[in-house]
Amino acid sequence: MISKELDFAIRDIADFPKPGIIFKDITPILKDAKLCTAVIDEFVKQLEGIEIDVVAGIESRGFLFGLMLANRLQIPFVPIRKKGKLPFTTVEEPCELEYGSAILELHEDAIIPGQRVLIHDDLLATGGTVSAATRLVQKLDGVVAGYAFVISLDFLNANDKLKQVSQNIISLVSYK
């Protein structure tokens, strides 16, 4: 089962980026091409039956598998980035992060009204970033079709917040 393979590959880094935090490092997964392919295969399998028009990946680790997933599904990929990183006209949304705050942006033409969007990131923690991404999609009149994460820190209860928008929440590895 892929969750066991991923759990074995994910590296815990204590006290990063600040004391008391255990960072879940996915970079060892990226060194294994077969495991990366298995990640995309598993996302595709779990997304079967869900209509998706666009994958939106959250900066920066959401770009890694998000672009591969969009490519496999043969649909567009759009990046959600921190303020000042996108070159065209944007919409923006503030977000509370686990260790601070930021402003996320999305190109104003990234989503056509009514498009069904899968929001992807590597990790779901408190849900602040993905909630801001959700609001960005909604500002452009997109419909959040679901969420896909490599890792979910379930003990932080962010799934409850996301279920108010979509019941389609995929996490390949969950930590209780």
Kindly report the pTM of this predicted structure. Answer: 0.96
Residue 45: pLDDT over 80? yes
Catalytic residue among 5, 42, 59, 61: 61
| Cα→Cα distances 104→14, 38, 176, Å | 27, 30, 28
Residue 99: pLDDT over 90? no
Confidence of residue 1 (pLDDT cuts 50, 70, 90): confident
| Per-residue pLDDT tens over the stretch 55-64 | 999 999 999 9
Active site residue 61: yes
| Per-residue pLDDT tens over the stretch 33-44 | 999 999 999 999
| Cα→Cα distances 29→3, 19, 24, Å | 12, 25, 11
Residue 52: pLDDT over 90? yes
* More confident call, 93 vs 101: 93
Active site residue 11: no
| Per-residue pLDDT tens over the stretch 2-18 | 999 999 999 999 999 88
Confidence at residue 18, expressed as pLDDT on a 0 to 100 scale: 87
Which segments of the chain are extended strands (E)? Answer: 11-14, 22-25, 54-58, 77-82, 90-97, 100-107, 116-124, 143-153, 169-175
Catalytic residue among 72, 92, 96, 98: 98
| Per-residue pLDDT tens over the stretch 119-161 | 999 999 999 999 999 999 999 999 999 999 999 999 999 999 9
Confidence at residue 96, expressed as pLDDT on a 0 to 100 scale: 82
